[in-house]
Structure 1
Amino acid sequence: MTEPEKHTLIEDAQAIAYGSTMAAFGIVILTHLGLVTGQTAGLAVLISYATGWGFGPVFFAVNLPFYIFGYLRMGAVFTAKTFLSVALLSGLAMWMPQHISFATLNPWLGAVLFGFISGSALLALFRHGASLGGVGIVALMLQDRLGWRAGWVQLGFDAVLFAAAFLVRDPMTVVISFVGALVVNLVIAINHRRDRYIAT
């Protein structure tokens, strides 16, 4: 059996650029609607809502402790790619709102669009040995070591985070937000399969 073909440096670079940019666009949709989400991004969004601090700097700071864990468990290359992805997302999340606006955006549709966009962004990063830090690192580690689907692991964390979201958002907003987070995790759970996607 031949070894799977490895991604080139250019392929990895475009995946990080695509994944980070689409994830930032998803955050623009999310925060425009005042919604919340799960994972480390969700934690940063909740802190941002509660304090008034910008999402970008908060997201970057929240991820800092996870790089040591990522390095020890996933290696230097994964950690470097993840750091670049998080830094790019943080910067784009501060820049994009100055250049994108929505005249009309239904919250339910916005939540689903956020889920599809963010799910595809995470898939691109995962398939090129990167993540958006935090819970994504733990989820990928558990998937690789124990066979647990990354999407389901993140969904469990999301449940705890969404319980906390009721403290800063009204119940209907949290319900709509949960739809978006569910779509994200379903996209990952269904499409991120090591036994089907073997390029590295």
Structure 2
Amino acid sequence: MLLLSSPPDRHSPVEDLIGFLSGTVLVAVSVQFLQAAGLITGQIAGLSLIVAYMGGWSFGMVFFVLNLPFYAFALARMGWRFTLKTFLAVALLSVITDLLSRFTTLEVTHPAVAALAAGILASAGLVILFRHGASLGGVGIMALYLQDRAGIRAGLVQLVFDLGVLVLALFLFPLTVVVWSFAGAALLNIVIALNHRRDRYIAK
């Protein structure tokens, strides 16, 4: 099909659209699992969940606002194409998570289930977005930059930052919540570290 045709190192607009929808829906569902169990995660998403829990605001709104300062770094270091795609992905995730919160209800009887499901779903969604030349902002921008320029795995960079978020969470949440949240975040970043390498996937 003409709309799906593209050179090996580029995605067509239709491929990007499908990739963005697939990636953001997977991450949005992972957020539903976290919220159903009262868990958090790392990166800006984790900070957004903490702020949303504490202030009673929607995750989507907080996530969108906290990502705004990172676009200047993205534009300077990663270029306008990556920055625009990341902005669109963040906006799309913000809208989808709020819509899912209104129209779906998840019941989780053990936090381990939520941690496992959230880690796998979010990592799959992020890998899809990374391979379409986007991220979900925040630390993901720096992680991709360091992977492309210094060869440091993006998942490992994110895991280091996640540890900082979860240390903060120790002062705000019960220990069991933090432990299961760390398990989910660690799984997420291990899957990304194992599955996203620029030398294995060159398309943008």
Which residue does 2:138 correspond to in 1? Answer: 134
**How far, CA to CA, are the matches of 1:45 and 1:95 in structure 2?**
16
**How far, CA to CA, are the matches of 2:109 and 2:85 in structure 1?**
33
Misfit runs of 4+, over 3 Å: none
The one-character-per-residue Cα deviations of 1:84-135 (angstroms, maximum 9, x if unpaired) are 1100111111110222222444210110110000000000000010000000
CA contact (8 A) 1:57 1:90 kept: yes
**How far, CA to CA, are the matches of 2:34 and 2:83 in structure 1?**
26
CA contact (8 A) 2:44 2:139 kept: yes
Structure 1, 94-103 or 27-36: larger mean CA deviation: 94-103
TM-score, length-normalised on structure 2?
Answer: 0.94
**How far, CA to CA, are the matches of 2:51 and 2:108 in structure 1?**
26
The one-character-per-residue Cα deviations of 1:68-94 (angstroms, maximum 9, x if unpaired) are 111111011111111111001111111
Which residue does 1:147 correspond to in 2? Answer: 151
Aligned partner (choices 113, 117, 120) of residue 121 of structure 2: 117
**How far, CA to CA, are the matches of 2:193 and 2:64 in structure 1?**
25
Which residue does 1:199 correspond to in 2? Answer: 203
Aligned partner (choices 86, 89, 98) of residue 85 of structure 1: 89
Percent identity over paired residues: 48
**How far, CA to CA, are the matches of 1:193 and 1:95 in structure 2?**
32
Secondary structure of 1:130's aligned partner? coil
For structure 2, the 5+ residue unaligned runs are 1-6
Instruction: Tell me the number of residue pairs that the alignment of Structure 1 and Structure 2 aligns.
Output: 198
Deviation at 1:51, TM superposition (A): 1.5
Secondary structure of 2:92's aligned partner? helix
**How far, CA to CA, are the matches of 2:148 and 2:69 in structure 1?**
21
Deviation at 1:4, TM superposition (A): 4.1
Deviation at 1:49, TM superposition (A): 1.4
**How far, CA to CA, are the matches of 1:103 and 1:197 in structure 2?**
37
CA contact (8 A) 1:48 1:55 kept: yes
For structure 1, the 5+ residue unaligned runs are none
**How far, CA to CA, are the matches of 1:163 and 1:173 in structure 2?**
12
Deviation at 1:5, TM superposition (A): 3.3
Aligned partner (choices 43, 66, 71) of residue 70 of structure 2: 66
CA contact (8 A) 2:40 2:178 kept: yes
Secondary structure of 2:198's aligned partner? coil
**How far, CA to CA, are the matches of 1:132 and 1:82 in structure 2?**
6
Which residue does 1:185 correspond to in 2? Answer: 189
Deviation at 1:12, TM superposition (A): 0.9
Which residue does 2:39 correspond to in 1? Answer: 35
CA contact (8 A) 2:119 2:185 kept: yes
Alignment of 1:14 with 2:45, yes or no, is no
CA contact (8 A) 1:50 1:168 kept: no
**How far, CA to CA, are the matches of 2:138 and 2:107 in structure 1?**
33
RMSD: 1.2
Deviation at 1:59, TM superposition (A): 0.3
Secondary structure of 1:112's aligned partner? helix
**How far, CA to CA, are the matches of 1:105 and 1:155 in structure 2?**
27
